[in-house]
Chains A and B, each alone.
Chain A
Amino acid sequence: MTEQFEPTIVGFTCNWCSYRAADLAGMSRIKYAPNVRLIRLMCSGRVDPQFVFKALAEGADGVLISGCHPGDCHYVEQNYKTMRRFALLKKTLAALGIEDARVKLVWASAAEGNILAEEIDKMVAEVRALGPLNWKGSEQLTVNSEQSAVGGRSSAVKEMSL
């Protein structure tokens, strides 16, 4: 038996709708693929495209962003911003050669645990079919930071403040 590739998906959910949807799915024992690592943010509008790139560059095979339905955001208009950012993000990802199915935006209300579970299953299946993203940064080079007099940094240790 050949081992099936199990994608790792990072999921950004908003605190008010989609995280509760996920919660609800759990409580109602709705089964969905265990591949998603959920990260809870206050609002989908907090999802900086940098988060998505960092996830993909550091090993995720896909990224799921979810938030309240348009019009229902607890911060009024923020998820419209998410919608517009996502449109640009998709175009950029396409230009970088990353398949459409790897990054997905799903609206789910607190009551829609089943919808979120379905979308997750669908996404996991699609990414599984695509195979690992396996993003490689530039060729690895060893950087010896002791050479620097004032303690210069190298991008290898550059940390992102989120």
Chain B
Amino acid sequence: MSKPKFAMYWAAACGGCEIAVLNVHEGILDVDANFDVVFWPVAMDAKYKDVEAMPDKSITLTLFNGAIRNDENAHIAQMLRAKSQVLVAFGACACEGGIPGLGNLTTKQAILDTAFSTVSTDNPKELRPQTTFKMPEGAIHIPTMYETVKSLDQVVPVDYYMPGCPPESHQIAAVVGLVIKALKGEAQLPPAGAVIGASQSTVCDECKRARGEKTITAFTRMATFQPREDQCLLEQGILCSGMATRGGCDARCPTANMPCVGCYGPAPDVIDQGARMMSAVASVVDSKDPAEIDKIMEGVADPAGTFYRFSMPSSLMRHART
């Protein structure tokens, strides 16, 4: 009997999700033993045409990482959706748009203009990339960038969401283990639309730092402050996203004396991670005076970037007005 088929693909991604999968180390041999890896750019040679030629739903499990930045990303997403039984939005970029999603705070035009006019760019004719360009020998093409970045579920239906930038390897191993069991009929897959490989709580719940009364009268920044290693960072005035962020990483960043930047996406039952973060921050500020409150909030130097660092495309607003 042929083995179930496994695929992994990157769209507008950094490759870190793939490295995280490779970082299950020996676990990769389990994947090899239980699946027929039909398509996995980082680890093996594969051809799109082979995937294209596969019957619909012939791939059992596809891990899709990366955001949707252009028409090529969307096209492959649609193709893999059709070929896959279970499609997982893998990693922050696919789940929420991720860091590339910060592009939604600016415009496509501004991105192109900036990239092609930096101090070291030699571009007197102010050229910009053309999706179709006629060379003397013939026309050549590159994909068309979309105006905004999208999460995977904004172009195709997604069965499961596996958050993290990248998902932690022990979570990946656990999910792969579960899928293998489910295929053997020894376990049940979670209900459709579920978030997998993460906790049902927040990063704060996994954080070991001591928490007391949160009463903040000023925010500070890591740039100019060295926090204590044992006390909640938010209580020390550092904008830590732990309260608004889903757990599952064992509070990696706070453990390393850095604030959570929110990579595991919105906490359970939260649609808009940034909105939740605003509420969380508002509840710890210790002031009843509007003028003083405004002054304290000035310490939030980059509200959109801080609250929506990984989730701008899947936020309720999706993008800034440009």
Contact residues in B for A139 (Cβ distance below 8 Å)? 146-148
Q: A92 touching B151 by the CB < 8 A rule?
A: no
Q: B317 touching A138 by the CB < 8 A rule?
A: no
Contact residues in B for A97 (Cβ distance below 8 Å)? 320-322
A84: min CB distance to chain B, Å: 4
Contact partner of A147 among B147, B150, B156, B281, CB < 8 A?
B156
Contact residues in A for B148 (Cβ distance below 8 Å)? 138-139
A95 to chain B: closest residue by CB: B304
| Binary flags per residue of B285-299, CB closer than 8 Å to A gives 1, else 0 | 101101001100100
Q: A147 touching B279 by the CB < 8 A rule?
A: no
Contact residues in A for B269 (Cβ distance below 8 Å)? 161
Flag whether B313 is at the interface (Cβ < 8 A). yes
Contact residues in A for B297 (Cβ distance below 8 Å)? 84, 87-88, 91
Contact residues in A for B193 (Cβ distance below 8 Å)? 151-153
Task: Assign chain B's interface to a size class.
Answer: 35 or more
Flag whether A38 is at the interface (Cβ < 8 A). no
A149 to chain B: closest residue by CB: B85
B-binding segment of A1-9, A19-27, A53-61:
A53-61
Contact residues in B for A84 (Cβ distance below 8 Å)? 282-283, 285, 287, 293, 297
A:95-134 near B, CB below 8 Å: 95-98
Compute how far the CA of A138 lies from the CA of B312 in the bound complex, rounded to whole angstroms.
11
On chain A, the number of residues with a Cβ less than 8 Å from chain B's Cβ atoms is 44
Q: A96 touching B192 by the CB < 8 A rule?
A: no
Q: A152 touching B157 by the CB < 8 A rule?
A: yes
Q: A150 touching B275 by the CB < 8 A rule?
A: no
Q: A145 touching B293 by the CB < 8 A rule?
A: no
Q: B158 touching A89 by the CB < 8 A rule?
A: no
Contact residues in A for B285 (Cβ distance below 8 Å)? 84
B281 to chain A: closest residue by CB: A88
Compute how far the CA of A91 lies from the CA of B3 in the bound complex, rounded to whole angstroms.
54
Flag whether A34 is at the interface (Cβ < 8 A). no
- If A81-B283, A153-B193 touch, whether A147 touches B105 (CB-CB below 8 Å) is no
Q: A160 touching B271 by the CB < 8 A rule?
A: yes
Residue contacts A-B, CB under 8 angstroms, 7 given: A50-B276, A53-B316, A83-B293, A97-B322, A138-B147, A147-B81, A149-B85
Given A95-B305, A97-B321, A151-B159, output 12 extra A-B contacts at Cβ < 8 Å.
A48-B279, A49-B274, A57-B316, A84-B285, A87-B297, A135-B317, A135-B321, A138-B313, A138-B319, A148-B87, A152-B158, A154-B156
